[in-house]
Each structure stands twice: as C-alpha cells, then as structure tokens.
Amino acid sequence: MLAGHAPVVAAIRPGILTITTGGKHEKIIVLGGLAEVSEKGLTVLADVATSLAELDRAKFAETISDMEESLKEHEGGELDQAIERLDHFKSIQRQLSSTAMH
C-alpha cells in the first residue's frame, strides 16, 4: 500500500487463500468475508475458514450433495442465495481438484 492512501476494505469471494509465513505456505479455505489492506498489511475477516490440511474432502463432497438435494425446498430470493452458496462450494471443490497437495 502506498503512503498517504486510505485503507481499502473489500468483500472476498469464497476460495482458497494461501498464507505465507517465514517461507512456509499454508492453504486455507475461506467461505467469504472481508479483506482490509492498510499500512499494517492485509487483514482477512472470514465468515468460515478451514485449513486445507484439516479438510475432510469426502465430507465436503457430501455437503455439496446435501445442498443440491435441498435446493427444491427453496424458492424466490432464498433459492437464489442457496444456488449462490452451492456455486461457491463447487468452485472451491474445483480448486481443490486442481490443487496439488504436499
């Protein structure tokens, strides 16, 4: 961030966030939230955050199946929100499929 510029706050979309500390990389699944960039650095306030190392992929896939099944229980704006959330989970699942685990 350049000196004299105001901090920036932005909504973050669900996805995989890579945190680098001391040369070590850790991948975290974030299901939305806010990010603030200021002179102090980047701060992420996540709605839900799970370490990729701790993720149960089978349970994650089961959650997606359950979400797909429950779509028929929603209508109107509620259905739109359910579809959007399902899309976020599927997007993360695609990223997981293309991410090589160490």
Q: What local confidence, expressed as pLDDT, does residue 100 receive?
A: 52
Q: What local confidence, expressed as pLDDT, does residue 3 receive?
A: 61
Compute the Cα dihedral for 38, 13, 59, 63 and give only its sign. positive
| The two three-digit tokens of residue 61, written as one number | 């896939």
Cα torsion for 56, 58, 63, 68, to the nearest 10°?
150
Low-confidence ranges of the chain (pLDDT < 50): 1, 102
Q: What local confidence, expressed as pLDDT, does residue 21 receive?
A: 87
pTM of the predicted protein model: 0.69
Q: What local confidence, expressed as pLDDT, does residue 96 receive?
A: 85
Q: What local confidence, expressed as pLDDT, does residue 39 receive?
A: 84
DSSP for 53-65, please give it: GG--HHHHHHHHH
